[in-house]
């Protein structure tokens, strides 16, 4: 084996101080921290945590069509700084990503703005124009490089159309990601239906708006014996259904977001548009159920559901403000609060943000074995930072974290052996 191109020294991996040897864009091996090497550049890790590059399987990069909210360049820069080596970008662009031309545009723009990564994997529209009436040209989208299919925030209400979509996608070797929501029950809602919505005088979305669609998808997945991935699960009833399905061997996987593990509907007090998201923030009981489901593997992965908006769009009455939280910059720090609270472990983070997403969507992943892609980050868990418009790399500053001090900061990011950025450890 040739010598390394890069040696990263003085890093913590599974509580041991090691060095990482990288050659030709691949992991060569983990070595003793002071093992000599006559080849390659050296990077001092400063005693920081060595983590695999994260994979965010649910982001909205807004381009083409909504560049005033975010564009591919700014979204990928937020991904770099947030620790994400790959992202799956949803199809709710303008025009919708329901043709190979849009898929090609997204991929080429990513290579143009970030030639060394993060990798952008487009998610193709499940139906034409996301209208839920006619299947998109799934084979064309798959050939163009789509990594999955989804109707994103426009759930397919017709079960026969959804069934045919799942069957067709499976024939192509790809997974359908479903936004689980009954449109009639969710229509016009600004937040969770419950005590707080009553106090604020707002129309709420009941948990059953989500869980009804979860139940439908589970039964279809069992009947067809085909995989379905459930997007941004938010409530106890849904995770109980998913646990039941998995106990029966149903091929269903599921995701949730940091905000469903940390915040409740109480965040909506004061008509806080920055906390308006779909599905909505739920109750403290739902948060506890979500935490348990993530620990136990009922929920397979974490995603950001990164949904950037322009400032003026959130500076409106709550019922007029769009749903969504900008999440790429803050996700890892928010999850580190869960590690500090002993809700999750470092190994859980690697499983939820790297290993399982790669398995579900058939993506390359770094397990730090010889030959794995050299996608990794160096993370300083002790460095705190204040969330502000100036410290966020995303164009979207719409996060309830504004003004908060969060723990942990990515200090270096390497993709395929190429260092994209490195900061001195503080």
Dist CA 337 CA 326 (whole Å): 18
Between CA 383 and CA 390, with CA 386 as vertex, the angle to 5 degrees is 120
Dist CA 244 CA 189 (whole Å): 28
- Is residue 395 assigned to a domain? no
Dist CA 181 CA 189 (whole Å): 12
To the query of whether residue 423 is one of the catalytic residues in this protein, the response is no
- Is residue 77 assigned to a domain? yes
Dist CA 130 CA 132 (whole Å): 6
pLDDT over threshold 80, residue 38: no
- Is residue 2 assigned to a domain? no
The pTM is what? Answer: 0.97
- Is residue 39 assigned to a domain? no
- Is residue 6 assigned to a domain? no
Question: What is the percent of the chain with per-residue pLDDT over 90, rounded to a whole number?
Answer: 95
Mean pLDDT for the chain overall? 97
Residues contributing to the annotated binding site for Zn(2+): 58, 60, 152, 179, 232, 305
pLDDT over threshold 70, residue 426: no
Per-residue pLDDT tens over the stretch 105-138: 999 999 999 999 999 999 999 999 999 999 999 9
Per-residue pLDDT tens over the stretch 371-400: 999 999 999 999 999 999 999 999 999 999
Q: How many domains does one find in the chain?
A: 1
Residues contributing to the annotated binding site for substrate: 60-62, 92, 278, 309
Name the residue with tokens 């400063």.
46
Dist CA 215 CA 208 (whole Å): 10
- Is residue 113 assigned to a domain? yes
Per-residue pLDDT tens over the stretch 315-359: 999 999 999 999 999 999 999 999 999 999 999 999 999 999 999
Q: Are 136 and 126 in contact (CB under 8 A)?
A: yes
| Residue tagged active-site, from 305, 319, 348, 382 | 305
- Is residue 376 assigned to a domain? no
pLDDT classification of 3: cutoffs 50, 70, 90: confident
Q: Are 27 and 372 in contact (CB under 8 A)?
A: yes
Residues β-bridged to residue 162: none
- Is residue 224 assigned to a domain? yes
Task: Give the 3-state secondary structure of residue 80.
Answer: helix
CATH number for the domain spanning 210: value is 3.20.20.140
pLDDT classification of 425: cutoffs 50, 70, 90: low
pLDDT over threshold 60, residue 311: yes
Pairing status of strand 176-178 against strand 148-150: parallel
pLDDT classification of 37: cutoffs 50, 70, 90: confident
**Helical ranges in 65-207 per DSSP H:** 72-82, 100-113, 138-144, 159-171, 183-186, 195-200
Q: Are 87 and 117 in contact (CB under 8 A)?
A: no
**Rg (Cα) of the chain, in Å, rounded?**
21
Identify the domain containing residue 62 by its residue range. 51-361
pLDDT classification of 65: cutoffs 50, 70, 90: very high
Would the CA dihedral through 231, 235, 237, 242 be positive or negative? positive
């Amino acid at each position: 084996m040739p010598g390394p191109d890069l040696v990263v020294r003085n890093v913590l991996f599974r509580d041991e101080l090691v060095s990482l040897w990288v050659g030709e864009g691949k992991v060569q091996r983990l070595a003793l921290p002071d093992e000599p090497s006559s080849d390659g550049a050296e990077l001092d890790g400063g005693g920081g945590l060595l983590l695999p590059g994260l994979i965010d399987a649910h982001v909205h990069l807004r381009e083409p069509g909504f560049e005033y909210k975010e564009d591919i360049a700014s979204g990928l820069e937020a991904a770099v700084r947030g620790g994400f080596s790959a992202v799956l970008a949803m199809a709710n662009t303008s025009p919708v990503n329901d043709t190979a031309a849009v898929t090609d545009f997204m991929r080429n723009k990513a290579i143009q703005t970030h030639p060394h990564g993060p990798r952008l994997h487009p998610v193709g529209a499940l139906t034409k124009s996301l209208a839920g009436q006619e299947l998109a040209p799934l084979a064309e989208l798959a050939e163009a490089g789509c990594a999955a299919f989804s109707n994103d925030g426009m759930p397919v209400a017709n079960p026969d159309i959804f069934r045919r979509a799942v069957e067709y996608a499976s024939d192509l070797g790809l997974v359908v990601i479903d936004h689980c929501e009954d449109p009639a029950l969710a229509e016009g809602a600004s937040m969770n239906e419950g005590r707080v919505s009553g106090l604020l005088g707002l129309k709420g979305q009941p948990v059953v708006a989500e869980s009804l669609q979860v139940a439908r998808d589970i039964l279809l997945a069992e009947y067809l014996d085909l995989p379905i991935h459930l997007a941004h699960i938010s409530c106890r009833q849904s995770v109980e259904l998913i646990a039941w399905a998995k106990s029966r061997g149903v091929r269903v996987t599921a995701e949730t977001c940091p905000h469903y593990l940390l915040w409740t509907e109480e965040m909506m007090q004061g008509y806080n548009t920055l906390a308006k998201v779909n599905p909505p923030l739920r109750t403290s009981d739902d948060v506890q159920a979500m935490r348990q489901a993530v620990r136990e593997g009922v929920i397979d992965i974490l995603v950001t559901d990164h949904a950037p908006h322009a400032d003026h769009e959130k500076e409106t009455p709550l019922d007029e403000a769009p749903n969504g939280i900008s999440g790429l910059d803050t996700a890892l720090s928010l999850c580190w609060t869960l590690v500090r609270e002993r809700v999750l472990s470092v190994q859980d983070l690697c499983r939820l943000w790297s290993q399982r997403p790669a398995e579900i969507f058939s993506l390359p992943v770094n397990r730090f074995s010889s030959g794995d892609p050299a996608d990794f980050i160096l993370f300083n868990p002790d460095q705190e930072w204040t969330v502000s418009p100036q410290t966020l790399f995303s164009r979207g500053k719409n996060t309830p974290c504004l003004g908060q001090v969060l723990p942990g900061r990515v200090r270096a990011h390497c993709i395929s052996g190429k260092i994209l950025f490195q900061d001195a450890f503080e």
